[in-house]
Amino acid sequence: RGNLGLLRRDPPTSTEEQADILNDMVEESDRLIRLVNDLLLLARADAGRGLKREIVRLQPLLEDCARQARLLDAQRCIKLEASTSLSMLGDRDALKQVLLILLDNALKHSGGDIQIAASPEGSLVCISVRDGGPGISPDMLERAFERFHRGGENPLVPGFGLGLPIAKALSEGMGGSISIESEPGSGSCITLLFPAAAVG
């Protein structure tokens, strides 16, 4: 809004200043669009609207998510370990959204390798995303899934504090769960548990 006021100034600002103002407005508009999209996604997840209960083969989905994450940072090593026969009951698109949120967080807040693993755990499927970042203090860990909570991390890292709440709402909407383990200096591991699916 302030930038719009600057553009209406009389006499007008210089051409260079106007170009800077327009660039700022484009960036702010994009940021608002991301915020609105996140809020809409969170509202839909809360309502459990449109989430499917179908068989999802995990290895191809995890490979696709790892590939997309590597495009965001080609210098990072993202390792994947998953059985080819592993499947779960859930919504493929929602699960992909959850995994991309977790991988995006790992890329933003850690250095070194990122490990994705999937394995059977009784009647459940366990998916984990582990990073080698600075870890999270116990008091911050308790609030990790609170909406708009960003902890004490670098304010220059983009985000609204909605990624993990969205991941939690989507996971629970599919009948699963999400948890996080972390220690300062030892990285973080986020674990997803979902009902396993028998594939004939």
Across the range 193-199, mean pLDDT stands at: 87
User: At residue 39, does pLDDT exceed 70?
Assistant: yes
User: At residue 42, does pLDDT exceed 80?
Assistant: no
User: At residue 199, does pLDDT exceed 80?
Assistant: no
Beta-strand (E) ranges in the chain? Answer: 54-57, 78-82, 87-90, 114-121, 124-131, 177-182, 188-195
Distance CA 128, CA 110 (A): 16
pTM of this structure: 0.75
User: Higher-confidence residue: 151 or 97?
Assistant: 97
114-155, pLDDT tens digit by residue?
A: 999 999 999 999 999 999 888 888 888 878 888 776 655 554
Residue 165, preceding peptide bond in cis (omega within 30° of 0): no
69-91, pLDDT tens digit by residue?
A: 998 888 899 999 998 889 999 99
pLDDT recorded at residue 53: 87
Four-point Cα dihedral 175, 36, 151, 46, nearest 10: -20
25-37, pLDDT tens digit by residue?
A: 888 887 787 778 7
Residues 94/199, Cβ–Cβ less than 8 Å: no
